[in-house]
Amino acid sequence: MTPHATQVPQGADEGSALAIPPSLVGLWQARAVEEATGEAEAVDVEIEFGADRTVRLTGPRDEHGEPFFTGRGEWSQDPAAEGLFRFTLRHPLPGPVPGEARAELDGAFLRGRGFLAKGRTSRHYEDGTVTGPGAVTVEGAEGSTPVTVLHRWTTTPDRQGAVADTLLDAWRRTSAPVSPRTLAVFVSTNGDTVFGYEQWASGAELRAFEKAGRQAVEGDGVIEGAERSPALVTVPYRSRTAATGPAGAPAAPGCVVITTFGFASAERARAWADAITLAEETQPEPTPGLLARHFLISGAAADGGVQVLNHSEWSGEDAHRAFLENPVVTPEWQRVEEFTSGITHGPGRRCVLGGALPTV
């Protein structure tokens, strides 16, 4: 088996062979300056950009820690525009007069890993009065972008269970200085693969673990009867929930499909993920059994190529098999087929959860 080879996320200025690209997804501490009333007023806010393209805004907090207002919006990104994005926000107006603030902003990442967005905002009151638009600027400090690390072990059906147990036991026995927010082990239903799936709250936490905890948990990384592939470090790009359970909670999957794809450029990878998302959203009927789909993207390798982790959740194996055997024919899905050339298909596997550990 090959030694452990996790590629740690680093900034581009650190010379990493595989640097994780900037990702808007995550929680940002930001300062907003609004000039809708003619006087600039700076306020500290929190903005969370979701992989499902939603935006959540938390306004400044009072002495009890409660926000004066919360808001929502949506964001978008042209896959060909590296580091550029657009988002909208709507939130109740603080104060005694009922109304709503509405803003549209264009943003760009900064070299220091923050972002700067500028746009226009207006105030809409319940009596029909509208004031503005005025200028608004939002400056985000470095955010907490979630990071997913995928580990793959190739084994045999008679060793698969033992490999999964070994991975889980290693974490149970070791008190690592920092822990992922989610730690799961998936086993392929054909018996030849075990996946380790770590979800970290931020790249900073993962870097801290790589420096002080990886060796403590994994030792030399050798597991009898299993061959290890280099770890894949990714950040979220797009996510879509297709079906929910009772009370809107995520439906429990009976099968998880884990597949990787290689692309010559991040632009091509983002465009492919966008095309599949659009095809699924616009097809006449929902895909039977599809519960959720997530696209996560790696940093650029030395040759400029990137990897995309496609993690999809299904009601069961039969639903995924039927999806492949009975493709939907629409113009949007035909557009997806145009991406066939230039894609490197990694091994895809139908999986079930082999075990998970509670993490801090």
- Rounded mean pLDDT for each run of 10 residues along the chain, 360 residues in total: 31 40 88 70 91 95 88 93 92 86 93 87 91 90 87 95 91 77 94 94 85 74 85 93 71 93 92 95 94 92 86 96 94 90 86 84
Which pLDDT score is estimated for 15? 32
Closest CA to 53 of 30, 84, 76: 76
Pair 79, 59: CB distance under 8 Å: no
pLDDT at position 90 is: 96
Fold designation for 26-140: Lipocalin (2.40.128)
pLDDT of res. 261:
95
Tokens at residue 28, please? Answer: 């940002």
Q: Are 222 and 170 in contact (CB under 8 A)?
A: no
pLDDT at 123: 92
Q: Report the C-alpha gap between 29 and 104 in whole angstroms.
A: 19
| Burial of 107 from C-beta contacts in 10 A (0-12 / 13-18 / 19+) | buried
For residue 179, what are its two tokens? 């822990």
Q: Domains of the chain: which residue ranges?
A: 26-140, 145-357
User: Residue 352: its pLDDT value, please?
Assistant: 97
The torsion angle over the Cα atoms of residues 169, 170, 175 and 176, rounded to 10 degrees, is: -140
Q: What is the DSSP string of 74-123?
A: EEE--TTSTTEEEEEEEEEPSSSS-EEEEEEEEEEE-TTS-EEEEEEEEE
Q: Which residues contact 358 (CB under 8 A, 6 or more apart)?
A: none
CATH, domain range 145-357: 3.30.70.100
d(CA 250, CA 70): 23
